[in-house]
Structure 1
């Protein structure tokens, strides 16, 4: 790739117009810095301890990279890589070298400041263009020197890898497209599937592209958190910055078409603070949820200028019959617990794990208790926006519908404003937005866009008049138009034949037909995953489905392809994670298919389903304990919550300041001290301060296993193996798994070996580490997600340790031969 960048630099220098030259040089430098950042992310993931070095903040922000972010990422991670892996990593970044007269980090900071002040938001005159085109050229030349080892090489088969000095590390992230370097515009996740979008680096013709990332990628490294948990987002409205918490799912479609009037009405309601309720209603398949999520995602992208006050919390809730609660898995069978759940969903913004008393009350009592929490957090009803989806499922009888309307009225007056989507006109005085069919022109445009996406040739070749007739025949209903286009793309039938086959049936016959058609096209593994899912009692979320795929022996992405082209389920997509609920008719269809199997196959699939249920239950238990012990307990005070917000935003100094105020305010909170110590250790790398705080955490609660492990890691980081080992043994006696403890000891020795100069002593430490890793692997049960994570780390460090042992044994042998020949 270095050659490609050198060729691009030559092309840029040939430009006589300084403004054109500067524009292209800026694009070249942007691409180069992004490429280097991705390589450094990959090195960090491969060579540093995953539970000590957090990539999440940087890679999460890198999904929409600014020009300053790669410089920040390199600045942050280079010292860590030097400390953990390669002591002479990136010479010339912080210091002068014989090839680089001035540290490249300082030159790049100057470039970022110019880029933001002049090129991004100011005016560039001819003199500035000439000066900075020369400066940028010089910076690029120095970058090609300093970054030479981390600019990937291209294998004959097109794969990217780093040189031998960096262990020939394979770079999984695609950084070239059509044999050209790229500029990354966005990295996104939909339904757990990751994609990267960008442009090729070319002066003559820069092409847009989107390509899929492997499931194991540097951006998919989310820390432990509840699926659909609340995120802190920042937007700009009326040229002011605002931040708020939300759990808004991502868009349901990338081919959103029309609905300008409906979006406009929803935006108008959003800005009318006197209106408490908005009802988006209409028949199934017209896109009510799609419309609301489109508008909310546009809001997240700062596409609107709303009047104050803007909501501080936006809570999205979709009616589900199965939920994890404090008492385990619950199946809601009546209206009251189901409607109460939307209030509990809001409360999870303030406490991720609700205590039992939240489940022992309902109705007015639950609302009153929630009002108390809002007041504690200095919030009122104008700070909250509730989005409640598919409310027609919450009530069926006439009396239940009336009760539901009364409930919404009370919530809207007391808790917050409400957007409701429903197939019926609910009993509530709300701003109504009726969702009907698209216009014929919108229907035609939607079919044409979908046809281009799915390669439906008959649609692409049809004239507008024909497509208008088709859209009208299908009632301009988006879900039917989409189903037709997908069916034509798969069957290669003409439009008339496809309509004849599919849409002259009753609704149930139609779904049966579509299910049979989809089922026939699936491979055996995909079918078996669906047959496992229909036998599960656990909620169908990403981790559960991924585990089912693993048990069957199929890639999660391959199963996703079968799920995407069917109407088997209702999906709630949070990007990195998702939930599905099987449509009732689809569930019956799968059970019918299951009944046709022989007993041996039925028992095998039931056993797999049972195993997945056990996995889901254990995972939920561990996550609940994690969140209860580490999150809920630690972040009780306003200062502690503020510290967490600053840390989540990457504002480490501000977070430390808030933590210091928090421990003054809550001085006997052991969990709070432990979380503070973790930040000091891993984000600030102030080992002595972290040690002091960890000791205090254990002094406050000598049974705080997390604090004990935290102090052990501080000792390991300081090179004090014996002290660290003693604390790890203490953690084992208080419940930490043997496999985890052996792994921590092994990792400490792996990094300790790098400091040892004597080859024999170095090999002794590495061999001890390898022995510990083998014992850790044997004792690892792999019974839940965290055992799986430990297992991945064990395999990672076995590979790293084995390579180091081989490398140093070879050096020892060569040294001995030289001595023998003297």
Structure 2
């Protein structure tokens, strides 16, 4: 399976780009591709533009449509369309700097390769590194050669579940002309017939505010469908990356695993900062300042990369940044956007519990929360409120001293956002 442009077709691609005022692989062009064809990675776009090797048929046609080209007129007809075992066209490129995920990787590899779980959920706060970990996992699984087919699928919850299943079937059966009346049944048959690894990588949880309720309902439909598939006897595995842990997983624990990805440890976070800042001749490294930054940003890789960029462009070193912003945490705009997305549909009680936690500096016990419930909230509602906030990685559970009791708190970026936007 796969198409690529002929030499003449490649020249037509370049001309079409020039007519649009776009360079072939400039940052502006790649941003346009990300905006309009979100599931196509930079790597895949470059393969299309330079006709380096075949890409998936649908991807090729979508790229042609973006440029206003007829795919049949530019395709290299001398290249037969052959089925491919690895369908990774929409997967992002692996980042050069990737640290501190050895234990996470070992756990996921064990679940996929040795224990054969049918549905694995990799969840965590936005920017925590779920997609990059999934990319690395896919590379490792590919080397093991234990699956008949491997597919990476970008998903958006504005896309109906039935449409997603149809797209996956098209990728599993690229040359089939059979009319399928029941796509879910046929999809399950393929999961049984072949040993398939499918990675569903969440693009954005809720793209637009007016779509929030519709997309949350769609997210539930997706999860219910995947939960139903996990009950069926098959040899395949579906991995979902998401910011929010699905509900009601306890009933399917024999077939399903969920793993919360947390922040990098101090050593990995410091290394990421060091690589991100770069240290030209006019900068000096401050290890203690880097450790403070890793703590302030809870080891979030995206936040650390953004802060490293700020330091590189506007400060002489990490210490100056830390000292200037000692009493006022800088929350990068991208992180604020993520937080706005996951908090905008919280109910009144959920927001009030967040605000209460934001106003106290130390972790607090469940008993203290019970004693300070918002007006109108019953104690029986607190467990569900806390579970929802934890599913969205908005609250942290920590153990204080040697006690076995867990206490509740917020990571610094969440605290700053809540105090500024929700109080």
When normalised by structure 2's length, the TM-score is 0.51
SS of 1:226's partner is: helix
Structure-2 separation of matches of 1:462 and 1:272: 43
* Cα pair 1:381 1:414 within 8 Å, conserved: no
Q: 2:307 maps to what in 1?
A: 484
Higher helix share: 1
* Cα pair 1:474 1:481 within 8 Å, conserved: yes
Shift of 1:391: 7.9
Greater RCO between the two (CA within 8 Å, min separation 6)? Answer: 2
* Cα pair 1:228 1:247 within 8 Å, conserved: no
> Is 1:380 aligned to residue 189 of structure 2?
no
> Is 1:447 aligned to residue 273 of structure 2?
yes
> Is 1:434 aligned to residue 260 of structure 2?
yes
1:257 counterpart (99, 107, 122)? 99
Structure-1 separation of matches of 2:88 and 2:100: 25
* Cα pair 1:251 1:294 within 8 Å, conserved: no
> Is 1:369 aligned to residue 186 of structure 2?
yes
1:276 counterpart (105, 118, 123)? 118
Structure-2 separation of matches of 1:274 and 1:341: 27
> Is 1:338 aligned to residue 160 of structure 2?
yes
Q: 2:290 maps to what in 1?
A: 467
Structure-2 separation of matches of 1:285 and 1:476: 10
- Within 5 Å, give how 1:665-744 maps onto structure 2: none
2:169 counterpart (335, 347, 364)? 347
Superposed CA RMSD in Å reads: 4.2
Structure-1 separation of matches of 2:203 and 2:329: 30
Q: Deviations over 1:707-765 (max 9, x none)?
A: xxxxxxxxxxxxxxxxxxxxxxxxxxxxxxxxxxxxxxxxxxxxxxxxxxxxxxxxxxx
Shift of 1:439: 0.4
2:238 counterpart (389, 399, 418)? 418
Structure-2 separation of matches of 1:431 and 1:348: 27
Q: 1:245 maps to what in 2?
A: 86
Structure-1 separation of matches of 2:154 and 2:266: 31
Structure-1 separation of matches of 2:8 and 2:276: 43
* Cα pair 1:244 1:312 within 8 Å, conserved: yes
2:52 counterpart (189, 212, 220)? 220
Q: 1:294 maps to what in 2?
A: 136
> Is 1:504 aligned to residue 329 of structure 2?
yes
* Cα pair 1:381 1:417 within 8 Å, conserved: no
Question: Gaps (5+ residues) in structure 1?
Answer: 1-44, 53-188, 195-214, 230-242, 322-331, 513-822
Shift of 1:471: 1.3
**Are residues 244 and 456 of structure 1, via their aligned partners in 2, closer, same or farther at CA, if it must alter by over 3 Å?**
same
How many residues are paired up? 264
Q: Deviations over 1:7-55 (max 9, x none)?
A: xxxxxxxxxxxxxxxxxxxxxxxxxxxxxxxxxxxxxx9xxx9479xxx
Q: 1:212 maps to what in 2?
A: none
Shift of 1:400: 5.8
Question: Gaps (5+ residues) in structure 2?
Answer: 10-41, 62-83, 207-211, 338-423
Q: Deviations over 1:319-370 (max 9, x none)?
A: 236xxxxxxxxxx4xxxx5323332232122444898966xx7xxx321133
Q: 1:495 maps to what in 2?
A: 318
- Within 5 Å, give how 1:517-532 maps onto structure 2: none
* Cα pair 2:303 2:335 within 8 Å, conserved: no
**Are residues 268 and 443 of structure 1, via their aligned partners in 2, closer, same or farther at CA, if it must alter by over 3 Å?**
same
Structure-1 separation of matches of 2:107 and 2:241: 14
SS of 2:59's partner is: coil
2:223 counterpart (405, 424, 435)? 405
Q: 2:149 maps to what in 1?
A: 313
Q: 1:653 maps to what in 2?
A: none
* Cα pair 1:317 1:342 within 8 Å, conserved: no
Structure-2 separation of matches of 1:299 and 1:340: 28
**Are residues 273 and 392 of structure 1, via their aligned partners in 2, closer, same or farther at CA, if it must alter by over 3 Å?**
farther
SS of 1:280's partner is: strand
Shift of 1:392: 7.5
Structure-2 separation of matches of 1:414 and 1:289: 28
Q: 2:389 maps to what in 1?
A: none
**Are residues 190 and 386 of structure 1, via their aligned partners in 2, closer, same or farther at CA, if it must alter by over 3 Å?**
closer
**Are residues 221 and 261 of structure 1, via their aligned partners in 2, closer, same or farther at CA, if it must alter by over 3 Å?**
closer
* Cα pair 2:125 2:243 within 8 Å, conserved: yes
Structure-1 separation of matches of 2:297 and 2:139: 28
Q: 2:201 maps to what in 1?
A: 389
* Cα pair 1:315 1:387 within 8 Å, conserved: yes
* Cα pair 1:484 1:498 within 8 Å, conserved: no
* Cα pair 1:286 1:436 within 8 Å, conserved: yes
Structure-1 separation of matches of 2:153 and 2:109: 20
Structure-2 separation of matches of 1:447 and 1:511: 20
